Amino acid sequence: MNFSLRALVHYRVLAAFGKPFDYFLVEEPWRVYEVLEKALGRHNAELVINILTDWLRKNGCNVTRDQVLRYLTAREAWV
């Protein structure tokens, strides 16, 4: 994500949850989509997921959008 979008996400998540976005990325990655959806709305959460999926593909990780979404919504994916 570019700096402007990352800053927006950080402050919206901090306002909604009292914790920075990085906390959820590191400590509770299965809640990332839920957090994005609550802080930014469904449309913008989908946009962030698409940006992340594109970034992963450009950096050699062959994943689908559905796989990324599963990792960011299902705790079982991390066990």
Q: Which domain holds residue 58?
A: 3-78
Cα–Cα distance list, 66 to 26, 33, 50 (Å) = 20, 12, 10
Confidence tier at 28 by pLDDT (50, 70, 90): very high
Nearest residue to 13 (alpha-carbon basis) of 48, 51, 59: 48
pLDDT for residue 79 is more than 80: no
pTM for the complete prediction?
Answer: 0.87
Tally of domains in the chain:
1
Average pLDDT, the chain: 94
pLDDT for residue 70 is more than 90: yes
Decide if 16 contacts 23 (C-beta within 8 A).
no
Tokens 């946009």 -> residue: 47
